[in-house]
Chains A and B, each alone.
Chain A
Amino acid sequence: MIINHPLLGPRDSSEFYHLGDATLINRPDPDAADAAEQFYEYVYIRDDPAGEYRELWYHEQGDRSWLVVTRNTLTHEISSVELARDVARRQGK
């Protein structure tokens, strides 16, 4: 599988480490009244979609950047690759 890195171009997936659901970027507020419930869902509850899925990939054997990769779990087709920090900044983090 080839991942088209936004800065470095097409790179072999063997250079990457796969973490999982990109919603991990959205860490809950520890001061919220229902923080325990929110963290339970954040840590343990995952969707398992058959189709388009946004995942975090780490370019461990490369530039050490975190990426948000949109991949179809049925076909492995990758439709979008973004730097995770750009995604986070867009969300005001």
Chain B
Amino acid sequence: MPEYILTAEPPLGGYERHFEGTSLREHRELAIVAVSIPLGKDTAVSAALGEAYGATLPDHGVSVVSEDGATRILRFTADQIFLLFTHAKPDAAQVVSERLNGTGYTVDQTDNWVSLSLSGSLARPALERICAVNLRKDAFAIGRAERTVMEHLGAIIIRTGDDGFLLMSGSSSAESFLHALETSVKYVS
């Protein structure tokens, strides 16, 4: 019987490209875990986050980074947070569930998303053309995170640095999302 070895492959195969000093790069091993907060358990989840990650439950539209800098916690809605961290194995949800002592309901969403970093001077002008969120530096401070739409595709945008953004969209339409980003960057370069 033949032996198969399965190798994890990101939706865009590890895409990376540079445009006049601005880089667009796919994340290879970014684990994404959704944690749903059971009704009335905000305090318990917040306490568990504090113990495990040295972080509190973030406000809506804001992301916080864990004490060790390894995990970013996002919150878009009242009852759910996302945890993002580099993790190569397919057991991310279990890892989070154990660290949070089972206080929230965890779902591994890693394979459902494509994650790209766009950074450099062209990032903001390129995103302004396709993103419905106000990205002015004072309106969208470092750490802000929103779920929105780019072109016709649902997307998450997180400001990670002065001119740096982490962008996420559905893995099944990753090529279309990349096309929208590439086209917009080309138009402003």
Q: Determine if B60 and A61 form an interchain contact, defined as CB atoms under 8 angstroms apart.
A: no
Instruction: Flag B143-168 by CB within 8 Å of A: 1 or 0 each.
Output: 00011110000100000000000000
Chain A residues touching B, majority SS: loop
A65 to B147, CA, bound (A): 12
Instruction: Flag B114-149 by CB within 8 Å of A: 1 or 0 each.
Output: 000000000000000000110000000000001111
Instruction: Using CB atoms, name the residue of chain B closest to A13.
Output: B132
Q: Determine if B148 and A61 form an interchain contact, defined as CB atoms under 8 angstroms apart.
A: yes
Interface centre among A7, A63, A83, by most chain B C-beta atoms within 10 angstroms, is A63
**Within 8 Å CB of B61, what residues of A?**
7-9
B76 at the interface (CB under 8 A from A): yes
What band does the interface of chain A fall in when counting residues whose beta carbon is under 8 Å from B?
Answer: 10 to 19
Chain B residues touching A, majority SS: strand
**Within 8 Å CB of A30, what residues of B?**
none
| Smallest CB separation, B62 vs chain A (Å) | 11
A11 to B77, CA, bound (A): 14
Instruction: Flag B89-122 by CB within 8 Å of A: 1 or 0 each.
Output: 0000000000000000000000000000000000
Q: Determine if B78 and A61 form an interchain contact, defined as CB atoms under 8 angstroms apart.
A: no
User: Known: A8-B61, A14-B149, A15-B148. Contact between A61 and B77, CB under 8 A?
Assistant: no
Instruction: Using CB atoms, name the residue of chain A closest to B153.
Output: A61
A83 to B132, CA, bound (A): 21
**Within 8 Å CB of A60, what residues of B?**
154
| Smallest CB separation, B148 vs chain A (Å) | 6
* B side interface size, CB within 8 A: 12
Q: Which residues of B59-94 have CB atoms within 8 Å of chain A's CB atoms?
A: 60-61, 76-78
Instruction: Using CB atoms, name the residue of chain B closest to A12.
Output: B132
Q: Which residues of A46-71 have CB atoms within 8 Å of chain B's CB atoms?
A: 60-65
**Within 8 Å CB of A64, what residues of B?**
77
Instruction: Flag A7-23 by CB within 8 Å of B: 1 or 0 each.
Output: 11101101100000000
Partner of B77, one of A9, A12, A63: A63
**Within 8 Å CB of A8, what residues of B?**
60-61, 76, 146
Q: Which residues of A1-52 have CB atoms within 8 Å of chain B's CB atoms?
A: 7-9, 11-12, 14-15
A12 to B149, CA, bound (A): 10
B residues touching A (Cβ–Cβ < 8 Å)? 60-61, 76-78, 132-133, 146-149, 154
